[in-house]
C-alpha cells in the first residue's frame, strides 16, 4: 500500500502515538511523509523524535492521502472544521469513540469519505483488534488504505452496519479493562488463599496472558480449551461450578457488555 501524498495525524496522544509508531515501524508510511498536528508541545517533541514533522495547528496547504483523526471525541466539533477543505480529496479515518459518520458529514460536508475505527489499547504492543465501518463515499482504494494503517497495530475486521459499533465498543474497545480487572480479581483471590502479594501478582498476570496467548494461537474453540484443562471431579471443575452457575461469569459479562453498549449509544447522542 502506497501513500504518495502522505499521512496527516491529528492528535498524538497514547493511541495516536501507538498508531504512528506502528505505521513507521512496519514501513506502512515513511516518517518524511507524515505530519502530526498536536497542540501539546511535549507531545510534538515526542512525535519529532520519530522523524516526523509536528505542528500545532492544521496546515493550510497540502492534500494528504489520509487524515487520521485521533483527538478526543469532546473536542471534535472544535477541531474538524479546519480540515473541511480536504473533504472529497482525503480519506478521514477516525478513532474517536462514539462519533458517527453523520457527525463527520455535518462538520466536513457531504463529500467527505469517512471510516470509523474502534481500536483497543493492545494496539500499543501490536496486538490490537480494530473494527472498521466506511461511509458511502469510501471506495475500495480508501478501504485498503484504512485497513493497511490499522493492521500496523493488529487485526482488522469490517462491520456491515454502523449500529454494530456500539457492541464492538463494549466488547473489544472496553474489553481490555475487563481482562485487567480479571487479573486484579485473581490476584485478590490468590492473596486470600495465602499467597504473598508479589507471587499472587506474578501468577495472576502470567496465567491470564499465557492463557490468552494459547487461545490466540490455538485453532480450538475457547470451550474446548476450557475442557482440556478440566478433569472430571478435579480442582478446575470445582472452580468452574462456581464460575459457570446461572449467576456466574457469563451472566455477569453479558450484563457488563450490555451496560457498556447502552452507554456507547448514549454518548453518540
Domains 7-162 and 175-268 share a fold: no
Give the cell for residue 226: 476450557
Sequence ranges of the domains in the chain? 7-162, 175-268
- pTM here is 0.91
Residue 149 has pLDDT above 80, yes or no: yes
Averaged pLDDT score across all residues of the chain: 95
Whole-number pLDDT of residue 73: 87
Weakest mean pLDDT among 94-108, 160-174, 183-197: 94-108
Whole-number pLDDT of residue 268: 77
In 3D space, the residue among 96, 141, 151, 105 whose CA is nearest the CA of residue 268 turns out to be 96
Separation in Å, CA 79 to CA 42, 72, 76, 104: 19, 10, 5, 11
Mean pLDDT within 160-169: 95
Residue 95 has pLDDT above 90, yes or no: yes
Whole-number pLDDT of residue 2: 81
Q: What number does CATH give the domain 7-162?
A: 3.40.50.720
Mean pLDDT within 73-94: 94
Residue keyed to cell 487485526: 155
Residue 245 has pLDDT above 90, yes or no: yes
What residues have CB less than 8 Å from 212, skipping those under 6 apart?
179
Residue 269 has pLDDT above 80, yes or no: no
Helix axes 197-217, 175-192, angle to 10 degrees: 140
Fold of 175-268: ProC C-terminal domain-like fold (1.10.3730)
Amino acid at each position: 500500500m502506497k501513500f504518495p501524498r502522505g499521512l496527516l495525524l491529528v492528535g498524538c496522544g497514547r493511541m495516536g502515538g501507538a498508531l504512528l509508531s506502528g505505521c513507521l515501524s512496519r514501513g506502512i508510511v515513511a516518517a518524511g511523509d507524515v505530519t502530526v498536528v498536536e497542540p501539546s508541545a511535549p507531545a510534538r517533541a515526542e512525535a519529532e523524535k520519530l522523524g516526523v514533522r509536528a505542528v500545532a495547528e492544521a496546515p493550510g496547504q497540502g492534500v494528504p492521502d489520509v487524515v487520521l483523526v485521533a483527538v478526543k471525541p469532546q473536542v471534535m466539533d472544535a477541531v474538524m472544521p479546519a480540515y473541511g477543505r480536504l473533504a472529497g480529496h482525503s480519506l478521514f479515518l477516525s478513532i474517536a469513540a462514539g462519533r458517527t459518520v453523520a457527525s463527520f458529514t455535518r462538520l466536513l460536508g457531504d463529500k467527505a469519505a469517512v471510516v470509523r475505527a474502534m481500536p483497543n489499547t493492545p494496539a500499543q504492543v501490536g496486538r490490537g483488534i480494530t473494527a472498521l465501518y466506511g461511509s458511502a463515499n469510501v471506495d475500495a482504494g480508501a478501504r485498503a488504505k484504512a485497513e493497511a494503517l490499522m493492521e500496523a497495530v493488529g487485526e482488522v475486521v469490517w462491520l456491515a452496519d454502523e449500529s454494530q459499533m456500539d457492541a464492538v465498543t463494549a466488547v473489544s474497545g472496553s474489553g481490555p479493562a475487563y481482562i485487567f480487572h480479571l487479573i486484579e480479581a485473581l490476584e485478590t483471590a490468590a492473596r486470600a488463599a495465602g499467597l504473598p502479594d508479589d507471587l499472587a501478582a506474578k501468577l495472576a498476570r502470567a496465567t491470564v496472558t499465557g492463557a490468552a496467548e494459547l487461545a490466540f494461537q490455538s485453532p480450538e474453540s475457547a470451550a474446548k480449551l476450557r475442557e482440556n484443562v478440566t478433569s472430571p471431579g478435579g480442582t478446575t471443575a470445582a472452580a468452574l461450578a462456581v464460575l459457570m452457575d446461572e449467576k456466574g461469569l457469563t451472566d455477569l459479562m453479558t450484563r457488563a457488555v450490555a451496560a457498556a453498549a447502552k452507554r456507547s449509544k448514549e454518548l453518540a447522542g
